[in-house]
Chains A and B, each alone.
Chain A
Amino acid sequence: MITINNLVKRFGEKVAVNIDHYTIQSGDMLGLVGNNGAGKTTLFRLALDLLKADEGNVMIDDIDVSKNENWKEVTGAFIDDGFLIEYLTPEEYFTFIGKICGITKDEVSERLTRFERLMHNEIMGQKKLIRDFSAGNKQKIGIIGAMLNRPQVLILDEPFNFLDPTSQSVIKHELKAYHEETNATILISSHNLTHTVDICPRIALLEDGHIIRDIQNNDGSAEKELEAYFNIEE
Chain B
Amino acid sequence: MLDLYSPGTSLLHRLPPAAKMLAMLIGATLLFLNESLPITVAATLGILALYPIAQLTLKQAFAQIRPLLIIFVLFFAVQWYFSGLELAAYVVLRLTALILLASLVTLTTRSSDMIDTMTRGLRHLKPLGVNPEKVSLAISLALRFIPVLAQITREVREAQKTRGLERSVIAVAMPMAIRAIKMADDISDAIDSRGYRS
Partners in one complex: no
Interface residues of A (CB under 8 A from B): none
